[in-house]
């Protein structure tokens, strides 16, 4: 009986050592991990501002004709795709991790997300008449209450709308992926195929030239190797890329496999080429492993309930 007791005690001790084994991050890769999103000092975070921004994001009354909301373009959820209409799934153009781009706007003078949001809400669809819009939103009691919670008083202004929308968008973050867990010391977080794919990503395919840092994007503008496309496009994040339905900035490819083949071939032969876009000698297995690695960049599900929109 004593022998059995000591055997059980021994096994429990060994199990405890395994469970308590300290996870050791991989220092040279920690720069790829999504950690904390930084909110600028001129637009500090508070949860009430997030809720206000989310409400404004889904409210079509921000548009001149009151028929288009931010979510109308940045939310691909539809019954045909099998997604519930009450959730945000991969917005397109994607706002996932928009706060992690080094420069979120093409204009080199626009360095903050607020600059991008301000430009969009003053576009042809939104804020064509800011005075009229402010009057419209100010006439809604529910918004007065939301603005007071967010800012301490009920004043409604274009600037405050921009700040709230920006604060909300900074919360749309894909993180804690299998790759993140691996980098932070969870050795079994990646499969052997994904580890091989990470090697292909860095070396044979050289994806890392443009897809680097926590957002897997250098935030720079590059040509894409597509025939007939001369404009340069900002390097997109690769986080959650395998959840997408279409690929490239114009949605020309319908699968991740076609996209990988495009870049492995160095783009279309008649396209304007970026100096870094060159053919890569990838085997079929290399491509499969690369795609498996990209799957390891899928973060925790982003599911944000559509808020209750204040009634006029």
Helix (H) or strand (E) holding 305: none
CA–CA distance from 218 to each of 14, 89, 117, 214, 245 (Å)? 45, 24, 21, 10, 23
**Token reading at 128:** 């064509």
**260 neighbors 207 (Cβ within 8 angstroms):** no
CA dihedral 132, 135, 140, 143 (to 10 degrees): 100
**SS3 state at 221:** strand
Is 20 annotated as belonging to a binding site? no
**177 neighbors 294 (Cβ within 8 angstroms):** no
Is 210 annotated as belonging to a binding site? yes
Is 249 annotated as belonging to a binding site? no
Is 268 annotated as belonging to a binding site? no
Is 74 annotated as belonging to a binding site? yes
Among 54, 71, 171, which Cα is nearest to 126's? 71
**89 neighbors 83 (Cβ within 8 angstroms):** yes
User: Buried b vs exposed e over 228-261: b needs ≥16 C-beta within 10 Å?
Assistant: ebeeebbbbbbbbbbbbeebbeeeebeebeebbe
**Token reading at 308:** 């209750």
Binding residues, by number, are 70, 73-74, 207, 210-211
Binding residues for heme c, by number, are 70, 73-74, 207, 210-211
């Amino acid at each position: 009986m004593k022998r059995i007791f000591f055997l059980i005690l021994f096994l429990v001790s060994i199990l405890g050592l395994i469970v308590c084994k300290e996870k050791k991050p991989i220092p040279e890769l920690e720069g790829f991990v999504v950690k904390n999103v930084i909110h600028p000092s001129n637009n500090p975070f508070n949860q009430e501002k997030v809720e206000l921004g989310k409400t404004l994001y889904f409210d079509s009354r921000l548009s001149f004709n009151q028929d288009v909301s931010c979510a109308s373009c940045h939310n691909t959820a539809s019954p045909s795709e099998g997604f519930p209409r009450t959730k945000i799934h991969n917005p397109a153009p994607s706002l996932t991790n928009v706060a992690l781009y080094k420069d979120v706007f093409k204009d080199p003078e626009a360095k903050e997300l607020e600059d991008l949001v301000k430009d969009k809400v003053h576009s042809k669809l939104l804020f064509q008449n800011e005075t009229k819009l402010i009057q419209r939103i100010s006439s809604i009691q529910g918004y007065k209450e939301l603005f007071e919670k967010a800012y301490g008083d009920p004043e409604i202004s274009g600037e405050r709308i921009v700040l709230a929308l920006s604060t909300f968008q900074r919360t749309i973050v894909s993180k804690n992926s299998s790759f993140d867990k691996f980098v932070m010391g969870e050795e079994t977080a990646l499969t052997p195929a994904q580890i091989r794919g990470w090697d292909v990503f860095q070396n044979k395919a050289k994806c890392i030239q443009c897809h680097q840092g926590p957002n897997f994007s250098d935030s720079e503008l590059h040509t894409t190797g597509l025939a007939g496309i001369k404009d340069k496009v900002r390097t997109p994040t690769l986080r959650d890329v395998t959840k997408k339905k279409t690929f490239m900035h114009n949605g020309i490819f319908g699968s991740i496999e076609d996209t990988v083949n495009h870049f492995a071939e160095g783009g279309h032969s008649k396209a304007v080429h970026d100096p870094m876009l060159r053919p890569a000698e990838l085997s079929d297995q290399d491509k499969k492993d690369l795609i498996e690695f990209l799957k390891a960049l899928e973060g925790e599900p982003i599911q944000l309930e559509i808020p209750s929109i204040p009634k006029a």
